[in-house]
């Protein structure tokens, strides 16, 4: 009877650690762990729980020769070679259910801030400037909202806006049927969504199919003045195309919680120039990948992952009550 050795590489709610420890696990909680150091120790662990900084590619999965599972705090699985892990009989868990509400609330806040000039007028009031007309807002009511990707967060965002008097349309290549709670959402083609939406909200995983989906061609199909919101993955949007659209007025505004490069210290000269241009724009609202980052989601993600790990029966010598 050996213990399960579990490595956790990022901040988690204590509930997850305590829950694993009560199930025959020895938990190493090391939030300073990086990819290089991990390569030297991963063989010691039966399970690993990661966030975005650890990349579980084929090489690292091979080094983790005792791994029974890889668990992701949050949703994005682009950091894990899922097919290779499954081939090696390693379970992969993620927890989009844990922060779907957080992302939806955050995006709604960003959108309201953008459309009502809240960020700019807040800064002006603090400087004793009182300019009401310049900061006249625009209402969501009566607009058409297009949601691309109707999974956990896309659905949650749609549900939030169900009573706001918008027309909500969506495109999801892989979702054939909508639940009763989304009956108000109209299924349309991507072409119709881009041509009719005043606001486009992206809720997509990062895959070969979705990478730079929003580029020059996509933006050219949109309505003039469209607002683009991205709380999914930065590389779904080509930043240079978005900036061009914002400069010409084809794109009226953007709410961005995610970016192509989220490490300012690693910007190339070219990226520095590009992001400086974006950061100077008043018709964008920007946050540092925190849409799913709430006190409640920290707990929710821990509860969901613990439940999935225990129910998945991928711990050795552990009897789980079902």
Q: Give me the DSSP letters along 43-109.
A: GG-SEEEE-TT--B-HHHHHH-TT--EEEESSS--TTB-HHHHHHTT-EEE--GGGTHHHHHHHHHH
Catalytic: which of 120, 233, 238, 314? 233
Tokens of 27: 């938990």
Q: Which of 277, 285, 226, 217 is nearest to 252 (CA)?
A: 226
Catalytic: which of 3, 124, 271, 289? 289
Catalytic: which of 262, 276, 282, 296? 262
- The total of other beta-carbon atoms located within 10 Å of residue 319's CB is 9
| CA 12 to the chain's CA centroid | 17
Catalytic-residue membership of 43: no
Catalytic-residue membership of 233: yes
Catalytic-residue membership of 203: no
Distance CA 319, CA 321 (A): 7
| CA 258 to the chain's CA centroid | 7
- The total of other beta-carbon atoms located within 10 Å of residue 77's CB is 19
The catalytic residue positions are 233, 262, 289
């Amino acid at each position: 009877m050996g213990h399960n050795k579990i490595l956790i590489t990022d901040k988690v709610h204590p509930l997850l650690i305590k829950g694993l420890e009560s199930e025959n696990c020895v938990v190493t909680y090391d939030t300073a762990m990086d990819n290089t150091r991990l390569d030297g120790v991963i063989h010691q662990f039966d399970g690993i729980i990661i966030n975005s900084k650890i990349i579980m590619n084929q090489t690292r999965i091979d080094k983790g020769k005792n791994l029974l599972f890889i668990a992701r705090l949050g949703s994005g699985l682009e950091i894990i070679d899922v097919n290779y892990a499954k081939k090696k009989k390693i379970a992969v868990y993620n927890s989009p259910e844990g922060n779907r509400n957080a992302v939806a609330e955050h995006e709604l806040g960003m959108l309201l801030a953008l459309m009502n000039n809240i960020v700019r007028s807040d800064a002006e009031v603090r400087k004793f400037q009182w300019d009401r007309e310049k900061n006249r807002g625009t209402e969501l009511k009566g607009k058409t909202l297009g949601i691309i990707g109707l999974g956990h967060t896309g659905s949650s965002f749609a549900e939030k806006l169900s009573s706001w008097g918008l027309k909500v349309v969506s495109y999801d290549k892989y979702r054939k049927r909508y639940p009763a709670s989304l009956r108000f959402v109209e299924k349309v083609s991507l072409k119709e969504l881009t041509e009719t939406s005043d606001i486009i909200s992206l809720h997509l995983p990062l895959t070969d199919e979705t990478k730079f989906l929003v580029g020059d061609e996509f933006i050219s199909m949109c309505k003039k003045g469209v607002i683009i919101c991205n709380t999914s993955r930065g590389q779904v949007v080509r930043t240079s195309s978005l900036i061009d659209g914002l400069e010409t007025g084809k794109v009226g505004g953007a709410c961005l919680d995610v970016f192509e490069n989220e490490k300012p210290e690693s910007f190339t000269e070219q990226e520095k120039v590009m992001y400086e241009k974006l950061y100077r724009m008043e018709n964008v609202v920007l946050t540092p990948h925190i849409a799913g980052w709430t006190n409640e989601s920290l707990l929710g993600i821990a509860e969901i992952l613990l439940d999935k790990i225990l129910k998945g029966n991928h711990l050795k010598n552990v009897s789980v009550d079902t």
